[in-house]
Structure 1
Amino acid sequence: MPPAGATTADDVLAGLDPEQREVASNPLGPMCVLAGAGTGKTRAITHRIAYGVHSGAYRADRVLAVTFTARAAGEMRTRLRGLGLPTVQARTFHSAALRQLQYFWPQAIGGPTPTVLKQKAPAVGEAGARLRLELDRVVIRDLAAEIEWAKVSMLTPETYRDAAARAGRSPADLDLTAMARLWETYEEVKSARGVIDFEDVLLLMAGVLADREDIAATVRGQYRHFVVDEYQDVNAVQQALLDQWVGQRPDLCVVGDPAQTIYSFTGATPRHLLDFARRRPDTRTVRLVRNYRSTPQVVGLANLVLDAGPRRADSVQLQAQRDGGPVPTLSAQPDDDAEASYVAAEVKKLLAQGVPASEIAVLYRVNAQSEAIEQALSAADVPYLVRGGERFFQRKEVQQAIVLLRGAVRGDDGSEPLGRLVRDILTGAGWSPQRPAGGAVLERWQSLNALAELADDLAAAGEGVRIRELVAELDRRAGEQHAPTVEGVTLASLHAAKGLEWDAVFLIGCSDGLIPISLAEGQQAIEEERRLLYVGLTRARTHLALSWAARNPGGRATRRPSRFLDAAAPVLGEGARSTPKSAKSAARAGGRGTKSVKPRTCRTCGATLESAAERKIGRCNDCPATYDEAQFEALRTWRLEVATQSKVPAFVVFTDATLVAIAERQPAGAADLARISGVGKHKLDTYGDYVLAVLAGDDPTEVATRCVTDRAASA
C-alpha cells in the first residue's frame, strides 16, 4: 500500500496515452517496449514502476532501473521522486555493478577493492612504450577504444585477432596481432598498478555472480523487478550481467528503438532487443508511436529519411501529435567557413525572435567540424558550449563556488532574497552582473550564472528555501551528473546529442563523406549512418535547418548532398538530391557519360565484396583463408621485427589486409608484388626484395634485420 498522501495507482495512469497506459498498467511479467523518438518512453516506464509499487504489485526497494548515462539515470530518479518513489534504484550499468562489486569484493575475492581507472590513455601509452611503439595522443585514444570494444565483446587477447578480423576491425591500422599484444601488455600495466578499468567492473561482477551462487542469490533477493532503458545499446557483457541479475524470473521490462541503434562500433547490438520476445515467449510487446516532441514537419522529414532505408517489421513509424511549424530547410554553401557564418547568422535571428540560446543546438558528424562554428559564433558574440567537454561539476570554478556556498550556510538568516545572496557569494568566484564578451572568461561566467539561476528557480518553487537547500540540491545533482542549464548554444556531435532535444537544431555537414562518413563501408555501416542522421533530425522540436558546403576553404568543389537526403527532396527541394534526376535517368538508361562498375566478388564463394579490406584480398571475411599459414606467420614475424627495430607501428610497414593479399597472391617477383593493392612504388622499393626473400623461405628475423640495416646505411 502507498503511504498516506502518496500518489495512488489510479493517479499514476491519469494523463497517459493508450500505449503508455498499456505499458504502465501491466507491471508484472516480461515486456518489450519499442519506443520511437519523442514518444514519452521515460514517462511510460517510470509510471509503470510507480503503478507497480502503488498498486501493491511490488516494493520500491526491490526495483532496479538501468540505463546508459548518468544524466538519464538522474532524470529517471527525478521523475520517480515526483511519483512518490524516492527509494527506487535508477542507475547506469557501471554504477550498479560497481556498487555491488565494492560490497561483495571482500567476500568474493578478498582484500581492498581496487581503484577504477578514470582514463585508459596513460596505461595504454605505457603499454605501447613497453612494446617500443611510438604512439601519439590520437592513436592512443583509438587503441583505448579498441580495448573497450574487445572487452565488452567478452573477448580475450588470445581470441581477439580472429574475432576482430571477422568484424573488419582496423584499430588505428595497427596489426591485429600487435593489437592483441598491446592489450595483453595493458592488462599487465593495470595489474602492476593494482587498478581495474570500467569494463573490468562489469566483467568481474558478472563472473562473481556466475561463480558464487550464494552472492547471486543475495542480489536476486534484493532486486526482483528490472527495467532496462535504451536496450538497443546493450553489449555482450552488459547482457551477461543482466542475465545474472534477473536469473529465471519473469519481471523484466526492456525499452528501446532499433531506429536509434548508433553505437555498434562500441560493441552495442540491437539483437538483444529484437530477439527479446523470442527468448521470452510470454512477452507483451508495446509500440510507442505518438511523437510529442516535434512538429509534423520535423517528424515527416525524419520518417522520409528513415523509410528510404530497409524497413523492418519491428520498426516504429512516428506519428506527430503537435501543431504544425516551419518547414525544415536545406542550405548549400560554397565552403565550410561560409556554412559556419550562415549558421551563426541564423542563430542570431532566432535569438532576436526570443528563442533562448540554451534551446538551440548545432550538430555535426565529427568533432573537428566544431572549430569553424566556434569561430563564427564567437565573431557574432553568441555564447556557446561544447557538449562532451569537461563535466559541469568537475569544473574548477563550479567546485570553488560550491565550497563558498557551503561555507555561507550558517550565515544565511533568511533576511536577504536567495538569488541576491547567492550572487553576492559567487562574486568571490568570478561572477559579475555583466556578461563577459567571450573566451574562457565567458565560459566560467556561464557556469557560475547557471548556479545563480538555479537558486532563482528553487526560490520560486517554494517558500523558505535557503542556501542549505541549494547546497543539498547541488550535491544531489552532482551525484546524478544532472547539471543546471548553462545559457549558450550547444555544439555537439550526433552521437553526443542522443537523448537530448532543443527547440531549434542546425545540422551541418550534410554531404556525402560526412553523412555517411567516408569510413563507413558495407551496407550495415551505411545504414547505421542513416540512423545517426535520423537521431539528429528528431532532436528538433520546432526549427530544423540542414546545411552542407561544397568544399573545404580553398579546395575544389567536389562534395555533393548526402545520399540520405534524396528521399527528402519533396520537402527540402531538388537541391537535396545527391545526383540530379537527369543524371539518374541517364544512368538507368545506360546513356553516355555513365560508367558501369562491376562489383568485385569473392573468388571463393562469389559474394559481393563490400569492404575495402575484402576487395584488397579478393575474398570475403566469412570464407576461409587460402594462404599457407606458416608462410603468412613468417611474413607477420618479419613485419613485426621491422616495425619494432624501426620504432614504428606495424601498419606503417604493411597493413593486415596487404599482408594477407601478399600471402594469398604468392607474387613470383617485383612485378607481381607491385600489382597488389597497398604495395605502392615507395613500399616496393623499400621492402620488396625482403618480402620476396621471406616468401622464398629465408629466416624472417634475419631478413628484417638486414632490411633495417640496409635502410639505415642508405639514409
Structure 2
Amino acid sequence: MRTSKDLISDADSDAFYFRALEKQGIYLNEPQIQAVRHFKGPLLTLAGAGSGKTSVLVCRTGYLIAVRNVDPRNILLVTFSKKAAEEMRKRIARLPGLNDSIAATIQARTFHSFFLRIIRMHGVTQDILSETRYQHILLKRILREMGLQDAYQPEPLLSLLSSYKMQMIDVDSLPESSSEEKELKLIFAEYDKWKAANDQIDFDDVLLMAYKLLQQKPPLLAALQKRFLYVMVDEFQDTNMAQYALIKRIVEPHRNLMIVGDDDQTIYSFNGAKNEFILNFDKVFAEAKTITLDINYRSTSSIVGLGNEVIRHNARRKKKTLKATRQSKTSPQYLRPKTADDEAKTIISYILNQAKQGKRAFGDFAILYRTASNSRAIIEQFVVEDVPFVDYGSDESFYDHWIVKPLIDQNLNNRKVCHF
C-alpha cells in the first residue's frame, strides 16, 4: 500500500510537513492525504471503522497551522467524548512545529462542553444533572410515584425524551392521542418539573439553551462566526438536529466545515441522531468535496467481512466496502436483545456458564459498552449474580462507588457515636 513516502515528492511545497510526520511514524495513505490537504470549503470525509479518522483530523489541524498559517485560535474541533478531545489535543501538541501551548489555544471540545461554556458566560447558572445513573434513579422514582414502575424502563424513557428534545420538540408539544402518549408526556413533564424545582438542567438543555441564545443575541453569533473560521466535527453520523443546527449557524458565512463520519455507523438514531445529515450533506453544501477512507487498520478480516455483509443491505447509504489489513480466523457472534436488562442477563449467563464449565475464569472477560449509561443493567446483574468485576468506566474511588457508598452510609448510621 502506497503512503505519503511514495506519494509526496520532496519537491512538493508541503513535503516538509509530511516528512516530519513520517519521522514520527505517521504514514498517511492517499485518501488521508487528500483530506489533510483540504483547505477551503465544505468536506465530507466518509470514514469507515478503524480507517484512521482521528489521525486525519489531528494531522489536518496541524497542516492548517504549519502549512496554511491558520491561527490555531480560529480552529474548532468538535468530538463526542471528553476523552477523545483530550487525546486529540495531546496528539496535536506532538505534531511538527507545534507544542502544548499552541495546542491549548485550539478549541478541541465536545458539543456539550463547548456550548456549556458559552451559556455559562451569558448568565446560565443551573447545576448540570450530568450523571445518567442519577437520571435513571429519578425516573424510577417518578414511575413509582405514578404507579408505572412495571410499564416502563428508565433507559428507553430517557432516550426517547432526549430524541424529542434534540429534534427541538418540547414536552408541551408532545402528542396525546393515546393513553401511552399521555403517560409519557406526564412522566417527562414531572422530570422537567423536578429539574426546575431543584435548579438543574441536563446536557440536552445545554444545547437547546445555546441555540436560543444565538437566536436572541446576533452579536454573539457574529463573534463565533468570526472567531471559528475552520470547523471540524468528528463522529458526524451521531449528530442530532440541535447539534447540526448549531454548527451550521457558526459556519454559515465561510462554510469551511469538515465532517468526519460513517452513515453505516449511526447507532444513536433512538437519541435523535440522523444519518440523513451525512447522506444529504452534498445537497445542503452543494460545493462539498467527498473523500472516502476505506482501509481498516484495526479489525481483522472476519470482523470487517461480517460488517460489510451486514451494512450492504442498508437501504440508504453511501456505497463503500472496507478492506482489512489484518487476517484472523476469529468468528464474531451477533445478538439482538430487546432491552438493556435482557442484554445484561444474556451476557452474565454466558459468563457464568463458561466459568462453571471451567472453560474460562471471570478475569478472562471484558465487556465494552458505547456509553456509560449502558453499564447500569450489566453492573446490576453482576451484583445480583455475585460475579466479581472491576468497573474501569468510573473515576470514583471504591468507597465512593454508587454500589458501595450506600452500604457504608447505612453501616455508619447504625453505629453508635462515641464521644472522647
1:99 matched to 2:117? The reply is yes
Q: How far has the Cα of 1:46 moved from its partner?
A: 1.0
Q: Distance in 2 between matches of 1:270 and 1:48?
A: 24
- 2:325 equivalent in structure 1: 321
Q: What's the CA shift string for 1:170-201, capped at 9, x where partnerless?
A: 9xxx7212322333343333333333222111
Alignment deviations for residues 492-512 of structure 1 (CA, whole Å, 9 cap, x no partner) = xxxxxxxxxxxxxxxxxxxxx
Preserved CA contact (<8 Å) 2:229 2:256: yes
From 391, 394, 397, the equivalent of 1:395 is: 397
The answer to whether the 8 Å contact 2:51/2:293 transfers is yes
Letter in 1 for 2:331: P
Q: CA deviation at 1:11?
A: 3.9
Q: Which residue of 2 aligns with 1:251?
A: 256
Matches of 2:16 and 2:360, distance apart in 1: 45
In the alignment, which of 128, 149, 160 is matched to residue 146 of structure 1?
A: 160
Letter of the structure 1 residue corresponding to residue 103 of structure 2: P
Q: What is the TM-score of this pair, normalised by structure 2?
A: 0.73
Structure 2 distance, partners of 1:10, 1:337, is 48
The alignment-based identity, stated in percent, is 29
Q: For residue 99 of structure 1, give the secondary structure of its aligned residue in structure 2.
A: helix
Q: Is the 8 A contact 1:28 1:57 kept in 2?
A: no
Q: Does 1:47 align with 2:59?
A: yes
* 1:386 Cα deviation after fit: 4.5
Q: Contact (CA 8 Å) 2:51, 2:295: kept in 1 or not?
A: yes
Structure 1 residue 210: Cα displacement: 1.6
> C-alpha offsets along residues 283-316 of structure 1, whole Å, 9 cap, x if unaligned?
1101000111122233223323333x23655133
Distance in structure 2 (CA, Å) of the matches to 1:278 and 1:149: 24
Q: Is the 8 A contact 2:78 2:233 kept in 1?
A: yes
Residues 448-463 of structure 1: matches in 2 within 5 Å?
A: none
CA distance in 2 between counterparts of 1:339 and 1:184 reads 39
Task: Pick closer, same or farther for the CA change 1:116–1:28 going to 2, 3 Å.
Answer: same
2:233 to 221, 228, 231: 228
Aligned-residue RMSD, C-alpha = 3.7
Q: Quick one: distance in 2 between partners of 1:241 and 1:305?
A: 33
Quick check: 1:33–1:286 contact (8 Å CA) kept in 2?
A: yes
Which is greater in Rg? 1
- CA shift for structure 1 position 37: 0.6
- Work out whether 1:24 is the aligned partner of 2:36: yes
**Counterpart secondary structure, 2:390:** strand
Q: Distance in 1 between matches of 2:307 and 2:156?
A: 31
CA distance in 1, matches of 2:50, 2:65: 26
Distance 2:90 2:368 in 1: 27
- Give the TM-score of the pair, scaled to structure 1: 0.45
Residue deviations 1:304-336 (CA, integer Å, cap 9, x gap): 3333x23655133110123x333426699xx98
Q: Decide which of 242, 248, 273 is 1:268's aligned counterpart.
A: 273
Map Cα deviations across residues 374-415 of structure 1 (whole Å, 9 max, x no partner).
99995xxxx74346x6x22x335699xxxxxxxxxxxxxxxx
Higher RCO structure (Cα 8 Å, ≥6 apart): 2
For each residue in 1:540-593, what CA deviation from the matched residue of structure 2 results, as whole angstroms up to 9, or x when unmatched?
Answer: xxxxxxxxxxxxxxxxxxxxxxxxxxxxxxxxxxxxxxxxxxxxxxxxxxxxxx
Q: Which residue of 1 aligns with 2:147?
A: 134
C-alpha deviations, 1:80-100, integer Å up to 9, x for none? Answer: 122225222211111101011
Structure 1 residues 325 and 347, CA gap change in structure 2 (3 angstroms): farther
* SS of match in other structure, 2:259: strand
Any idea what SS the aligned residue of 1:43 has?
helix
The aligned counterpart of 2:286 is 281
Distance 1:139 1:305, change over 3 A: closer
For structure 1, list consecutive stretches of 5 or more residues without a partner in the other structure.
1-6, 106-111, 352-356, 400-438, 441-715
SS of 1:240 mapped into structure 2: helix
Distance in 2 separating the partners of 1:232 and 1:212 = 29
Cα distance in 1 for residues equivalent to 2:53 and 2:359: 32
Match of 2:173 in 1: 159
Amino acid at match of 1:314: K
Q: Deviations over 1:13-68 (max 9, x none)?
A: 64101111111011332110111111111011111111011113421111111111
SS in 2 for 1:203: helix
Pairing partner for 1:213 from 218, 226, 251: 218
For residues 270-291 of structure 1, what are the alpha-carbon distances to aligned partners after superposition, in whole Å with 9 as ceiling and x for unaligned? 1111111111111110100011
Q: 1:142 to 1:312 in 2, by over 3 A?
A: closer
Q: CA deviation at 1:12?
A: 5.9
Work out whether residues 46 and 261 of structure 2, in 8 Å CA contact, stay in contact via their aligned partners in 1: yes
On the 8 A contact 2:41/2:255 being kept in 1, the answer is: yes
Contact persistence 1:12–1:51 (CA under 8 A)? no
The equivalences for 1:588-603 within 5 A come to: none
- The letter for the 2-side match of 1:151 is K
How many Å separate the matches in 2 of 1:135 and 1:377?
29
Would you say 1:86 and 2:86 are equivalent positions?
Answer: no
Q: SS in structure 2 opposite 1:248?
A: coil
Task: Report the CA distance shift for 1:347/1:228 in structure 2 as closer, same or farther (over 3 A).
Answer: farther
Partner SS for 2:121 = helix
What is residue 17 of structure 2 aligned with on the other side? 9
1:217 to partner: Cα distance: 1.4
Match in the other structure for 2:45? 33
Displacement of 1:222 after TM fit?
2.2
* From 37, 49, 61, the counterpart of 2:73: 61
1:192 aligns with 2:197: yes
Mapped contact 2:42–2:256 kept (Cα < 8 A): yes
- Contact kept, 8 Å, 1:126 with 1:189, in 2: the verdict is no
Which consecutive residues of structure 2, in runs of 5 or more, have no partner in the other structure?
1-14, 336-345, 405-420
Q: 1:78 to 1:136 in 2, by over 3 A?
A: farther
Aligned partner letter, 2:351: A
Rounded to whole Å, the distance in 2 between the matches of 1:133 and 1:175 is 13
Counterpart check, 1:115 vs 2:127? yes
**Displacement of 1:142 after TM fit?**
4.2
1:340 aligns with 2:351: yes
Check whether the contact 1:206–1:244 (CA below 8 A) recurs between aligned residues. no
Whole-angstrom distance in 2 between the partners of 1:304 and 1:62: 41
